[in-house]
Structure 1
């Protein structure tokens, strides 16, 4: 019998089951709207705990940017800030678990959620973290490559100088255009392989390859709606970065909770 205090937990078995990929459903604009409403409801149900994950992500982002300054890698600040949201899906694991329990009407505390998060590193989500961080590394590397190729003759000793070169010179405009296109492609790839894969791996005992392929199938089945959702995530996250990352305290939890509910609408529910 399920404990009323702790509720059910995701499977602890570290060996994923080799099962057929689950059936997927076509996602509509109505599903996005309904998922957003459910995501806001989950945030309001547990605002402190939800906000904690947003705060943790925001603080980590500030430290990440500060490290760029400390290492005197001024030219990497903008790429780091723009690319940083790429790792958000993995950071939202605790939010998925909260939404899962709220959906089942189960009570829970900090220990239950943090325990589930700690277990993910030993399950298939650990491989998904590797995929996420690898794409982020590719993002940072390609930015540095374009900097070397396009802005090789430019000189800037501080952040203001870098901004002047990027925004007020033809070379800088070329760099922004190419970097934006490359970033859009990488973001689309990462979104496609993670949008439902992350919550699926938390809930099910399934291998990460099957989870990624299922995620891609969801996107290709409803490309316009899902890419619109990707654009909403991107714009919302980037706007949240403006006030010293503080907007993420609210937007990251809501987007994380929403992603859980969208996954529930896009993928056939588990049996039992």
Structure 2
């Protein structure tokens, strides 16, 4: 489909102008259901384009795990696979733009989506990516720390041996318990500051601090509903990793599109 640019495009001003805190709406379970339906509809409207982002994310995950095995970092394979979904919000930036244009009724092609994503380097979405990757880095090193403290005498020659130690020894159970608690805390922090911030930075000319504060406000004012949405994302993403990351080809696009529609329901749209 030829690219068109006759409709509204995401702002690319490198200097954010609007620092006013937007109004937060009350979000219900019905909003999540409606957002999921809209997200699935967006996926069906652009299955190839949406699936491309899912395929790219899945391929990167497979390559990442293969590199860990090749480097002999067997102990890092499972933690990396579990922590990999932490960077999904940034990977879904192109999906937010697809949903934004579909919702606005604007025609678009590959060039429009990729150009808008490239222009984000001039704005503050890049800083949001830094925050996301920093949390993933912290996740990785806290796993290494607990491995050194709890499983210091263990030897991991292959993935099977690592799984045996982790799931069938008392030390492994302790490692899992602590890792789960710490991982849940990091995931909660990252979810709170990104669930609305990512699409908001793409949608309007604002700064990263305002976007992150707005995201935290949405979670704080709708704790039960947003916790349910976080659980849906976590379970869906983890299940998608089972078939060699290939489930992400479908689940990442749908969740990404859904996140956009949930953001539009949770945050009052910018003034025209």
TM-score range with shorter-chain normalisation? Answer: over 0.9
Q: How much does 1:19 deviate?
A: 2.2
Contact 1:197/1:215 (8 A) holds in 2: yes
Q: How much does 1:157 deviate?
A: 1.5
Contact 2:13/2:122 (8 A) holds in 1: no
Aligned pairs for 1:79-118 (under 5 A) are: 79-118=79-118
Q: Give the number of equivalent residue pairs.
A: 270
1:121 is paired with a residue whose SS is helix
Q: How much does 1:258 deviate?
A: 0.2
Instruction: After superposition, give the CA deviation of every residue in 1:73-97 in whole Å (9 maximum; x if it has no partner).
Output: 0000000000000000000010000
Cα separation, 1, equivalents of 2:111 and 2:6: 9
Residue equivalent to 1:242: 242
Residue equivalent to 1:135: 135
Cα separation, 2, equivalents of 1:210 and 1:80: 30
Cα separation, 1, equivalents of 2:18 and 2:9: 21
Residue equivalent to 1:267: 267
Residue 15 in 1 paired to residue 15 in 2?
Answer: yes
Contact 2:124/2:207 (8 A) holds in 1: yes
Contact 1:29/1:225 (8 A) holds in 2: yes
Q: How much does 1:12 deviate?
A: 1.4
Q: How much does 1:156 deviate?
A: 2.4
1:14 is paired with a residue whose SS is coil
Cα separation, 2, equivalents of 1:160 and 1:246: 21
Cα separation, 1, equivalents of 2:80 and 2:223: 28
Cα separation, 2, equivalents of 1:100 and 1:51: 17
Cα separation, 2, equivalents of 1:145 and 1:101: 44
Contact 2:94/2:113 (8 A) holds in 1: yes
Residue equivalent to 2:119: 119
Contact 1:83/1:139 (8 A) holds in 2: yes
Aligned pairs for 1:54-203 (under 5 A) are: 54-203=54-203
Q: TM-score, normalised by structure 1?
A: 0.97
Q: How much does 1:6 deviate?
A: 4.2
1:13 is paired with a residue whose SS is coil
Cα separation, 1, equivalents of 2:16 and 2:167: 49
Cα separation, 1, equivalents of 2:18 and 2:252: 32
Task: Pick closer, same or farther for the CA change 1:26–1:105 going to 2, 3 Å.
Answer: same
Cα separation, 2, equivalents of 1:35 and 1:18: 26
Contact 2:5/2:112 (8 A) holds in 1: no
Q: How much does 1:5 deviate?
A: 5.0
Q: How much does 1:18 deviate?
A: 4.6
**How large is the Cα RMSD of the aligned pairs?**
1.1
Residue equivalent to 1:254: 254
